[in-house]
Amino acid sequence: MFAAAVNLSASELRYRRLFEAAPDGILIVDLETRQIVDVNPFLVEFLGYSREEFLGKEPWEFGLFPDDEIGRTAFEELQANGFLRYDDLPLRTKHGRPVDVEFVSNLYQEGDQQIVQCSIRDITARKAAESALRATELKLAAHAAELESLVGHRTAELRLSNTQLEAFVYSIAHDLRAPLRTMQGFAELLVREYAANLPPQGRDFANFINQAAQTMDHLLADLLAFSQLSQQKIELVPVPLEAAVQSALAGCEEEILRTRARVDCLPPWPVVLAHPTTLRQVLVNLINNALKFVPAGVPPQVRIRAEGRPEEFVRLWIEDNGIGISPEFHERIFQVFQRLHTPREYPGTGIGLAIVQKGVERMRGRAGLESSPGAGSRFWIELAGAPAGLNSPRKGKEIP
């Protein structure tokens, strides 16, 4: 210990032990003389001065105040307020090593004497950690910005690539339809004009050519429809769902009559923000899907209804009594050319639901289904509800 423990009261002895064992520097200054009268071992070791070098000196001689003038002003402030604090005070040890401290001074009255107790806490490691953290944050921010820029660039490249691919598909599908129709026309002409001159097998061959050409024409038509959804600019306008559903049913009337289907439309019908042509195309595909995938000999039963959803969305349901779809295929069937059955079982191109997905996405909506084998399917689409007051088709929102 720096001071002898003899002739000290129990409380003084406890204070002395705390003073000498404290993990922070402690300095005792006589306010009148402004001289250091005591210092604890931590500060001696921390700054590198001996106890004797501290005693009788003024604290700013060790940098405990920035300079003499400020130090003297600080003592006046301390005397007036009884308290003084520096959250970050740069110091140098006896050997010139820079350190940073938190400096707190309190004024106490001991009998007729006023003393100042200064607590000096080493924050050098903390400041270094904070500096390292700031540097790391800056690096992370720069890295994040770089990644964001890279993702943006790659996304732009991907969009351009997709646009070019879709334009290519459109061009190919469009250009292939002309020779295909020529082939189809000549096959029909061959059967009609020269059937008498053809053996039965020859007529079958011509019919096979004609049927294959029709199938290919339907496929190319769906490919064109799918690629057009990606390329065209659409404008979202208020569309009454009742009118959209009735228009789609009119487009499916022939198939409804052929299959003897029952279609129930259940009000109410909200108004949604949509592109009328795209919405009709989506609904026609969903209704035709519901009419097609039923067990043999079973008349289709289709129910169409709407309901509000959270966040001002409207969900439209198209429900059927069909063969149903296993859950593991619920996402797959919305992809291009994804078929779960052979064309002999259920004819189609495998693009109809992809058109539904793409069309709904272009209208800033979502599509999905609930289904299980043998229990029918409940397809749904979600679109934004039209805000109140937005009731004119001219007040739309253009989607690039």
Give 14-49 pLDDT, tens digit per residue.
Answer: 888 888 888 899 999 888 888 999 999 999 999 999
Gap between the Cα atoms of 90 and 120, Å rounded:
11
First to last CA, the chain: 81
Nearest-CA neighbor of 105 among 120, 89, 91? 120
Q: Which helix (H) or strand (E) holds 188?
A: helix 124-194
Q: What is the pLDDT of residue 109?
A: 86
Least confident of 130-134, 183-187, 293-297: 183-187
Q: What is the pLDDT of residue 398?
A: 47
To 5 degrees, how large is the angle CA 150–CA 152–CA 156?
115
CB 64 within 8 A of CB 85: no
Question: Exposed e or buried b for every residue in 218-236, given b needs 16+ CB within 10 A?
Answer: ebbebbbbbbbbbeeebeb
Q: What is the pLDDT of residue 48?
A: 92
Q: What is the pLDDT of residue 8?
A: 64
More confident residue, 83 or 343: 83
Q: What is the pLDDT of residue 162?
A: 65
Q: At 243, is the secondary structure helix, strand, or coil? A: helix
Q: What is the pLDDT of residue 317?
A: 93
Model pLDDT for residues 295-328, shown as the tens digit of each residue: 888 899 999 999 876 558 899 999 999 888 877 7
Split at pLDDT 50, 70, 90, the class of 192 is confident
Mean pLDDT along residues 109-129: 88
C-beta pairs of 58-62 under 8 Å, 24+ apart in sequence: 58/34, 59/27, 59/29, 59/34, 59/118, 62/91
Split at pLDDT 50, 70, 90, the class of 348 is low
Mean pLDDT along residues 132-159: 86
Structural domains in the chain, CATH included, are 10-122 (3.30.450.20), 125-231 (1.10.287), 233-399 (3.30.565.10)
Q: What is the pLDDT of residue 388?
A: 64
Nearest-CA neighbor of 296 among 263, 254, 336, 344? 344
Least confident of 34-38, 139-143, 215-219, 284-288: 215-219
**CA 301 centroid distance within chain:** 39
Split at pLDDT 50, 70, 90, the class of 225 is low
Q: What is the pLDDT of residue 306?
A: 92
More confident residue, 26 or 227: 26
Mean pLDDT along residues 336-351: 56
CB 44 within 8 A of CB 54: yes
Q: What is the pLDDT of residue 3?
A: 44
Q: What is the pLDDT of residue 15?
A: 81
Question: Can you read off the two tokens belonging to residue 315?
Answer: 């969900």
Q: How far is CA 102 from CA 90, 115, 118, in A?
A: 9, 20, 10
Q: What is the pLDDT of residue 392?
A: 46
pLDDT of residue 52 exceeding 80: yes
Q: Which residues are CB-contacts of 235 (< 8 A; sequence separation ≥ 6)? A: 275, 396, 397, 398, 399
CB 62 within 8 A of CB 47: yes
Q: What is the pLDDT of residue 395?
A: 46
- Return the residue matching tokens 């057009």: 228
More confident residue, 346 or 259: 259
Q: What is the mean pLDDT of the chain?
A: 80
Q: What is the pLDDT of residue 238?
A: 93
Gap between the Cα atoms of 60 and 69, Å rounded:
9
Question: Exposed e or buried b for every residue in 38-70, given b needs 16+ CB within 10 A?
Answer: bbbbbbbebbebeeebbeebbbbebbbbeeeee
Q: Which residues are CB-contacts of 247 (< 8 A; sequence separation ≥ 6)? A: 280, 283
pLDDT of residue 265 exceeding 60: yes
Split at pLDDT 50, 70, 90, the class of 224 is low
Question: Can you read off the two tokens belonging to residue 326?
Answer: 């296993």
pLDDT of residue 205 exceeding 60: yes
